[in-house]
Amino acid sequence: MAECLKLKTCPFFGDRMKETKVLADMMKRRYCLGTPAECARHRVSSAGVPVPPDLFPNQRDRSEDLLRNR
């Protein structure tokens, strides 16, 4: 397990998850502090593709579509 290098700059949790702290904490533990390579946002960003602001970390199918259609 490793901390995501993008954790401190990822706008998703600062902007999108304010009202759902429990869910945000759960996603942070799984994706940001556990397996960043499984995070949809991380995968898209690492490929140099702009990350849609509404892309959730668990939207793997959507991230694959974004990567396929770049």
Q: What is residue 37's predicted lDDT score, i.e. its pLDDT?
A: 93
Convert the pLDDT of each residue in 1-43 to its tens digit.
Answer: 688 888 888 877 666 667 777 888 888 889 988 999 999 999 9
Q: Global pTM?
A: 0.84
**What is the arithmetic mean of pLDDT over 42-47?**
94
Determine if residue 10 is left, alpha or beta; phi over 0 gives left, psi from -120 to 50 gives alpha, anything else beta: beta
Q: What is residue 15's predicted lDDT score, i.e. its pLDDT?
A: 65
